[in-house]
């Protein structure tokens, strides 16, 4: 905000001093070892002044101190002009921010750019796991941040509900389940189906081992294991619309969808539209035929269809198999085009792990060559995998960290820590349970989102729920502390524009005023980590202020009123910033 005010004054100064009306200004935060509130980089302006950076900076500084009421001092360090802004300006800016009950959030205009964000995209043969949690949290948070920045956002997922992996769970259920259902067992539907995916793998490995002992090669045994042949046969029947197979597929998928819905609800994520692979896996075939006519694709002698992207730094990519069946790329081409037909989006973001980086480079390049100009505004939000102190996860072997189990463990840990620290005092049992849920799930979300999406991360449940350090609970507790201050205040909140500010008050105001800019920056870079770490810095600054400053017992009412107002706006930023991460902050703790 202060940059916007100063920009016009500096343009006026450059125009007056050097007879130039249009200049591009570059600001920085003033380094802590120099006096000042904001720094103008002067080097680019010397082309107009025809003078040294130091002389140019001094001339602009002199002009600003004489002709503006906001700047009361300056100093020059080489080509950097450090400007000191007077207290009344900071107070005025804070007052404006306080009056704005949507501070930091831009209204979505009717003609706003439309952003489609895809995330989650699970398989219906197993429950969601830790990797899905990072995916869901990233996609949801990016969607919320884009909305806050003024974009029109649609949240979607594609559910992978067909294929050999789905048939494996179905075959195993027929073989081993004895008609078990979620109702008869009390097992959550996605967990029940996942149980039989694991059972399939156990039986498959036993059969492969048995065939190898009879003289089969490894490759031959894997292809001819009886239970695997049954899964292949079931897939063929599914594609032929066999009534019994379709009925079983629908029944087991319905169990999984109910389970997913419960997990998503607890995790706090949602979707505007679901796409299903069973509906979309044939979508790209007609487009491939058009691409052949337009010589975007070519056929090999065996009848398979390919695209040659070697001139674009990629390689050849198969689009249709020789038997005419689709590959994932075929489906993704068709689904992207269908989504544009459905929503006429301007941008589309895919939240998918970085092992698929090459796939999306190829997809976007194919769409571009097919003539879809919007493909240039498709973006792969590529994120690193989640590691655990105990090692890697394997779905088929049942060694994944289950999302439901992890969330429950986080809530239990939150309860144990809150009770040991006395954070649940003055709360009835219902309020305490809500607190444990908010702290446990909030700790999980914050820990996942504070890391740059591109980085591989180590998730440590114990570290994530610590009430000290860069954690969700630390931020939540600071919010509750501020709310306690606000409840104790008896004065009407008014701000004296002539109030003298301490250095800590000025630093806190500066951080508060950064919020709108950082929302936009986070949106443009698709990185919730920017918001997460900004809120942590704000909380650290407030706690430092709180430890050194008397708020409710200051010697003047106008000082109390100002400090309470400052605390209130800090709480607002914490609440709104954390809401962009999907994290709730408690009123009491």
Task: Identify whether the C-beta of residue 149 lies closer than 8 Å to the C-beta of residue 278.
Answer: no
Residue 254 lies in a domain: yes
- Domain membership of residue 115 (yes or no) is no
Q: Residues 183, 78: one domain?
A: no
pLDDT at 390: 66
pLDDT the model gives residue 462: 84
Indicate whether 484 belongs to any domain. Answer: no
Closest CA to 98 of 573, 581, 535: 573
Give the domain-ending residue among 253, 277, 301. Answer: 277
Q: Which two tokens stand for residue 250?
A: 């629908």
Count of domains observed in the chain: 2
Low-confidence stretches of the chain (pLDDT < 70) are: 390-399
pLDDT score of 324: 86
Q: How far is CA 474 from CA 185, 425, 471, 512, 550, in A?
A: 40, 17, 5, 18, 21
Q: Is residue 72 part of a domain?
A: yes
Q: Is residue 396 part of a domain?
A: no
First to last CA, the chain: 33
Q: For residue 513, tell me if it sits in a domain.
A: no
Q: What is the pLDDT of residue 395?
A: 42
Q: Is 349 left (phi over 0), alpha (psi -120 to 50) or beta?
A: beta
CA 98 to chain centre: 27
CA distance 132 to 135: 5
Instruction: Using DSSP bridges, classify how beta strands 114-118 and 152-159 pair: parallel, antiparallel or unpaired.
Output: parallel
User: What is the reported pLDDT for 2?
Assistant: 87
- Is residue 25 within 8 A of residue 16, CB to CB? The reply is no
Encode 12-70 in three state secondary structure. Answer: HHHHHHHCCCCCCCCEEECCCCCCCCEEEECHHHHHHHCCCHHHHHHHHHHHHHHHCCC
214 part of a folded domain: yes
Select from 67, 85, 103 the last residue of a domain: 85
Helices (H) and strands (E) in the chain, counts: 23, 14
User: Over the range 174-208, which residues count as b (16 or more CB within 10 Å of their CB) and which as e?
Assistant: eeebeeeebeeeebbbbbbbbbbbbbbbebbeebb
Contacts of 350 (CB under 8 A, 6+ apart): 118, 360, 378, 379, 380, 381
CA distances from 567 to 254, 258, 500 (A): 49, 43, 17
For CA atoms 432, 434, 435, 437, give the dihedral sign.
Answer: positive
Q: How many beta carbons lie within 10 A of that of residue 589, not counting itself?
A: 24
Sign, CA torsion 466/470/471/477: positive
Q: Are strands 273-276 and 152-159 parallel, antiparallel or unpaired?
A: parallel
Please check whether residues 167 and 260 belong to one and the same domain. yes
> 541, exposed or middle or buried, with CB in 10 Å at 0-12, 13-18, 19+?
middle
Q: What residues make up the domain containing 45?
A: 2-85
Are 77 and 171 in a shared domain?
no
Does a structural domain hold residue 194?
A: yes
Per-residue confidence (pLDDT) for residue 338, from 0 to 100: 96
Query: Are residues 374 and 345 in contact, defined by beta-carbon separation less than 8 angstroms?
Result: yes
Could you say which of 277, 292, 321 is where a domain stops? Answer: 277
pLDDT at residue 422, rounded to an integer: 84
Burial group, residue 566, by CB count within 10 angstroms (0-12, 13-18, 19+): buried
| 60: CATH | 3.30.1360.70
């Amino acid at each position: 905000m202060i940059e916007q005010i100063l920009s016009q004054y500096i343009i006026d100064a450059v125009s007056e001093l050097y007879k130039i009306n249009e200049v591009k200004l570059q600001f920085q935060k003033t380094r802590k070892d120099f006096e000042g509130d904001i720094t103008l980089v002067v080097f680019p302006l010397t082309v107009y002044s025809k003078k040294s950076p130091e002389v140019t900076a001094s001339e602009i500084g002199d002009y600003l101190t004489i002709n503006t009421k906001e700047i009361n001092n300056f100093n020059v360090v080489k080509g950097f002009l450090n400007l000191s802004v007077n207290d009344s300006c900071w107070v005025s800016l804070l007052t404006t921010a306080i009056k704005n009950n949507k501070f930091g959030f831009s209204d979505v205009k009717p003609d706003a750019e439309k952003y489609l964000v895809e995330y989650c995209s699970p398989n219906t043969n197993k429950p969601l796991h830790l990797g899905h949690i990072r995916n869901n949290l990233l996609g949801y948070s990016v969607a919320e941040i884009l909305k806050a920045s003024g974009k029109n956002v649609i949240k979607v997922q594609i559910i992978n509900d067909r294929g050999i992996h789905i048939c494996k769970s179905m075959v195993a259920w027929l073989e081993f389940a004895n008609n078990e259902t979620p109702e008869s067992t009390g097992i959550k539907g996605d967990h029940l189906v996942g149980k039989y995916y694991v059972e399939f793998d156990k039986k498959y490995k036993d059969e492969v081992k048995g065939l190898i002992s009879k003289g089969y090669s490894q490759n031959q045994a894997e292809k001819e294991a009886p239970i695997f042949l049954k899964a292949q046969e079931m897939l063929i029947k599914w594609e032929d619309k066999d009534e019994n197979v379709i009925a079983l597929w629908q029944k087991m998928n319905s169990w999984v969808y109910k389970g997913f819905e419960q997990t998503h609800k607890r995790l706090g994520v949602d979707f505007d539209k679901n796409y299903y692979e069973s509906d979309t896996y044939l979508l790209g075939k007609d487009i491939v035929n058009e691409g052949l006519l337009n010589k975007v694709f070519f056929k090999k002698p065996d009848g398979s269809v390919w695209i040659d992207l070697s001139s674009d730094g990629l390689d050849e990519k198969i689009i249709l198999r020789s038997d005419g069946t689709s590959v994932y790329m075929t489906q993704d081409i068709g689904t992207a085009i269908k989504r544009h037909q459905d929503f006429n989006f301007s941008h589309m973001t895919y939240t998918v792990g970085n092992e698929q980086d090459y796939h999306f480079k190829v997809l976007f390049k194919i769409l571009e060559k097919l003539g879809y100009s919007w493909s240039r505004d498709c973006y792969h939000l590529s994120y690193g995998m989640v590691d655990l102190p105990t090692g890697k996860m394997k779905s088929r072997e049942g060694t994944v960290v289950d999302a439901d189990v992890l969330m429950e463990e986080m809530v239990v840990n939150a309860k144990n820590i809150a009770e040991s620290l006395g954070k649940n005092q003055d709360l009835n049992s219902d309020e305490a349970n809500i607190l444990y849920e908010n702290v446990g799930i909030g700790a999980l979300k914050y820990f996942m989102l504070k890391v740059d999406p591109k980085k591989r991360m180590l998730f440590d449940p114990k570290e994530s729920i610590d009430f000290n350090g860069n954690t969700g609970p630390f931020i939540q507790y600071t919010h509750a502390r501020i709310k306690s201050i606000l409840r104790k205040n008896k004065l009407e909140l008014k701000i004296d524009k002539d109030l003298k500010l301490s250095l800590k008050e000025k630093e806190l105001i500066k951080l508060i005023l950064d919020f709108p800019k950082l929302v936009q920056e986070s949106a443009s870079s698709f990185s919730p980590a920017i918001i997460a770490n900004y809120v942590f810095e704000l909380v650290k600054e407030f706690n430092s202020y709180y430890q050194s400053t008397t708020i409710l017992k200051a010697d003047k009412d106008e000082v109390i009123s100002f400090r309470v107002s400052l605390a209130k706006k800090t709480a607002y930023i914490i609440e709104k910033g954390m809401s962009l991460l999907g994290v709730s902050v408690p009123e009491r703790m």
